[in-house]
């Protein structure tokens, strides 16, 4: 599914739904910033899809904000994808900034000792402001 996103989301972009498990919304913010909003579960089935979306966006945007506020499950495969995306962003000299917003995501990152690895913002507006 793809098309314009509601104006209150702060831009236009593409939305893609994979079954009923996960949905990805991409919202452009100028030439060099994008927000990838993830809704649903990041598990062994959806983690490779997330990896592909992150790779596509990191190739085009100097700042990629990964909005995980609506993630309902984050498994080890998803955590591995986040680490790989961080490495990819660093190699490209781009910024990957996470918006957690969910206790599920925060707990998974804390429990694995990965929380300190990432650039974290309280919300999407703050993540985008930090870029300016």
Q: Which of these, 22, 54, 15, 26, lies nearest to 40 by C-alpha position?
A: 22
The predicted-structure confidence for 57-80, as pLDDT tens digits, reads as follows: 999 999 999 999 999 999 999 999
Ramachandran angles phi, psi of 14, nearest 5°: -115, 145
With respect to residue 1, please indicate whether it lies within any of the assigned structural domains. no
Distance CA 64, CA 66 (A): 6
Mean pLDDT, residues 112-125: 96
**Whole-structure pTM value:** 0.84
Q: What percent of the chain has pLDDT over 70?
A: 83
What totals of helices (H) and strands (E) does the chain contain, helices first? 4, 6
With respect to residue 33, please indicate whether it lies within any of the assigned structural domains. yes
107 is in which domain, residue-wise? 7-129
CATH code: domain of residue 77? 3.30.750.24
The predicted-structure confidence for 9-31, as pLDDT tens digits, reads as follows: 334 344 455 555 789 999 998 88
Token pair belonging to 58: 């990191």
């Amino acid at each position: 599914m793809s098309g314009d996103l509601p104006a209150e989301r702060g831009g236009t972009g593409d939305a893609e739904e994979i079954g009923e498990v996960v949905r990805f919304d991409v919202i452009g913010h100028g030439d060099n910033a994008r927000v990838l909003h993830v809704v649903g579960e990041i598990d062994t089935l959806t983690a490779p899809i997330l990896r592909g979306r992150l790779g596509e966006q990191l190739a085009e945007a100097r700042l990629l904000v990964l909005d995980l506020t609506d993630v309902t499950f984050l498994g080890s495969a998803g955590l591995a994808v986040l680490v790989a995306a961080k490495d990819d962003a660093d190699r490209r000299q781009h910024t990957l900034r996470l918006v957690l917003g969910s206790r599920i995501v925060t707990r998974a990152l804390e429990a694995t000792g990965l929380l300190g690895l990432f650039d974290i913002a309280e919300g999407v507006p703050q993540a985008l402001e930090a870029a300016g």
